[in-house]
Amino acid sequence: MAWNEPGGGKNPWERRPGQGANLDEVLRNWQRKLSALFSGRRGGGAASGGSAPGWGPLFAVIALVVIAFSSLYQVDASEAAVIQRFGKFDRVAYAGLHVKLPWPIETRRIVPVQAYGSTQDQQTMLTKDANLVTIELGAQYLREDPVKYLFRVQNPEDTVLQVVEAAIREVVGQTTLAEVLAASSRLVVIDKTKELAQKTLDSYGAGIRITTVNLTNVNVPDAVRDAQQDSNKAVEDRGRRIAEAQTYRNDIVPKARGAGQAQILDAQAYKARIVAVAQGDASRFTQLLAAYERAPAVTRNRLYYETLEEVLGKSKKVIVDTRGNGQILYLPLDKLMEQGAAGVPALPRDSGAARPSSATGAASSTSDAQAADDLRLRGTR
pLDDT score at 329: 63
Average pLDDT over residues 343-361: 41
For range 151-165, the mean pLDDT = 89
Judge whether 215 and 190 are in contact, CB under 8 Å.
Answer: yes
Q: Which residues of 211-248 are buried (b: 16+ CB within 10 A; e: fewer)?
A: eebebeebebeeeeeeebeeebeeeeeeeeeeeeeeee
> Taking a C-beta distance cutoff of 8 angstroms, is the pair 114, 142 a contact?
yes
Give the model confidence (pLDDT) of 21-33 as tens digits.
466 676 677 767 6
pLDDT > 80? residue 47: no
Per the document, the length of the chain is 381
> Looking at residue 339, what is its pLDDT?
66
106 forms bridges with which residues in the sheet? 85
Query: pTM for the whole thing?
Result: 0.47
pLDDT digits (tens, 9 = 90+) for 315-349: 777 666 666 666 666 666 667 666 666 655 444 44
Q: How much is the mean pLDDT over the chain?
A: 75
Q: Which CATH class is domain 117-220?
A: alpha beta
The conformation of residue 223, written as its DSSP 8-state character, comes to G
Domain boundaries, the chain: 58-111, 117-220, 295-380
Nearest to 340 by CA among 315, 374, 362: 315
